[in-house]
Structures are given as structure tokens and as C-alpha cells.
Amino acid sequence: WPGVISVQAIWENGTWHMCSGALIHPQWVLTVAHCFAHAGDISRWEVVIGATDLSQLGPEAQLRHIKTLLLHQYYKPRMARNNIALLELDQPVECSDYIQLGCVPDSSLPVSELKTCYIAGWRNTPDSGHVPLSPRLALCPQGLAMRTRPGTQLLEGSGWAGPAQPGTAHPDPSLLWQGDTGGPLVCKDNIGDYFWLVGLASWGKGCAGAKRPGVFTSTQHFHTWIQVQMGLLPPEA
């Protein structure tokens, strides 16, 4: 997926992938707040955009440093409420076949009616390190379940390895694998030939097993917050 990015920390023992995110503007990345719970000095962190293999970056990849980190002002780590963050990059990136922007829906889009969705992120494997993960995610027949909590809205999606047929499909255990948090959940528009960035991988018990769906922060719910932080709307009263 050309919009997925890798947030990395540079420490004395090497450079480490910390979480995923989505590019929504040439100079802005959307991700989850808990990625930075113990971040320390973010000037030593960097963002990799346009990569297809984190262990060997190709010429299509671009690296940027984080100029500004904006966590949601009401983020509650223990409850995973308002688990969203914006990263302002030190320089804009150039879009290409490998780098494209995600479209955040406003309140007019009926997200729960979208039928074909995918999650993208980075899986840590014993053999090849971090490799791109973008499996097809056929959601359960009910689609995306909307769950509202005080101060936030979450999307719950159960991923299936096969057709979304009750009693015949099996849960895909890779939805919230290590390294996937912050990864974009994108859904194809039911009419147009384009995708919406509807969620960010937030949390889950284990790896999205049976009756334990992966939970995603709803980007639609935070559409106004995103615009305010980026300076596209005046601050709310």
C-alpha cells in the first residue's frame, strides 16, 4: 500500500520499527498515540515512506524526521481512548507510484456500509525482519461494527482468511501482529474507484483471534480534530 509508512526509533543498538501510520498530506502522517508512550527525544526518530522492504530500502523510499508530534489532548493510555496522533514531517515528500496520500472521510460517508477493506502494516518475521503486510481483509457479514466510548469512537473488524460466510471462514491471525499498530485500515468506496482511510490499528487481545476482533481508531470520528491540528480549520472553542 503506497500510503503506509514506518515510524522508526534510532537507538544505540540500531534502528527499530516502532509502529505504522498513514500519509494524509505531503508533510503530515496520521498514526496512534500509544506509539509514543515512552518516546523520549523524538528528534532521533524518523519516518520511512514508500518502502517495500524495511531491511533494504530502495530508491523509491524517502526518509523524513519528525518536526512536530501532536498527541490527542485527551489521550488516555490505559483505556486507549483518543488513541490518535499527528506527525508533522521536517520536509514534504513527493508523491509517486510508491507514495500516495490517504483520504480521511468526513461525517457524510456511511463507513459501516463499506464492504471491501484492507489493513496494511509491517510484520516482524524471524527470517526476513520487517516485511510489508497488506492482506485482503474480508470483513464479517455485518461489516465494520461501530462502538462508541466516552471520548472516542472505535471500529471493530473481524478479518477472515476466506469468503465472509458464517461458519465456514476462519479468523486471520495476522491483523494486529507485532508492528502493525497504527497501520491504516482502508475501505474501497462502494461506487467510485478509490479508497477511504477509515481506521488506524489501535489494539487487540492477541492477534485478532476468535471473538477477539482487532480494534481500530476511527479517523472519521477525529476528522475535525485532524483538520484543526493541521491548521485547516480554526481551533474549536
Is the overall model pTM greater than 0.85, yes or no?
Answer: no
Domain assignment present for residue 202? The answer is yes
Residues 198 and 130 reside in one and the same domain = yes
When divided into structural domains, the chain yields a total of: 2
Residues in contact with 189: Cβ distance below 8 Å, sequence separation at least 6, in sequence order: 114, 195, 196
Give the phi and the psi of residue 111 in degrees, each rounded to 5: -60, -40
Residue-level pLDDT at 124:
55
C-alpha 157, offset from chain centre: 14
The grid coordinates listed for 54 are 524495511
Its domain, for residue 47, covers 4-89
Residues 138 and 80 reside in one and the same domain = no
Residue-level pLDDT at 210:
56
Q: For 128, which DSSP code?
A: T
Residues in contact with 169: Cβ distance below 8 Å, sequence separation at least 6, in sequence order: 138, 160, 161, 162, 163
Domain assignment present for residue 71? The answer is yes
Residues 19 and 55 reside in one and the same domain = yes
- Integer Cα distance of 49 and 184 in angstroms: 14
- Integer Cα distance of 210 and 173 in angstroms: 9
Domain assignment present for residue 229? The answer is no
The grid coordinates listed for 46 are 524518523
CATH classification at residue 23:
2.40.10.10
Nearest to 195 by CA among 131, 109, 123, 132: 109
Residues 77 and 116 reside in one and the same domain = no
Give the phi and the psi of residue 223 in degrees, each rounded to 5: -55, -45
Low-confidence ranges of the chain (pLDDT < 70): 123-179, 204-213, 237
Residue-level pLDDT at 32:
93
Residues 74 and 159 reside in one and the same domain = no
Residues 37 and 129 reside in one and the same domain = no
pLDDT, one tens digit per residue, over 139-173 is: 433 444 445 444 444 554 433 322 233 322 222 33
Domain assignment present for residue 231? The answer is no
- Integer Cα distance of 164 and 167 in angstroms: 9
Residue-level pLDDT at 33:
93
Residue-level pLDDT at 166:
30
Residues 158 and 194 reside in one and the same domain = yes
Residue-level pLDDT at 179:
55
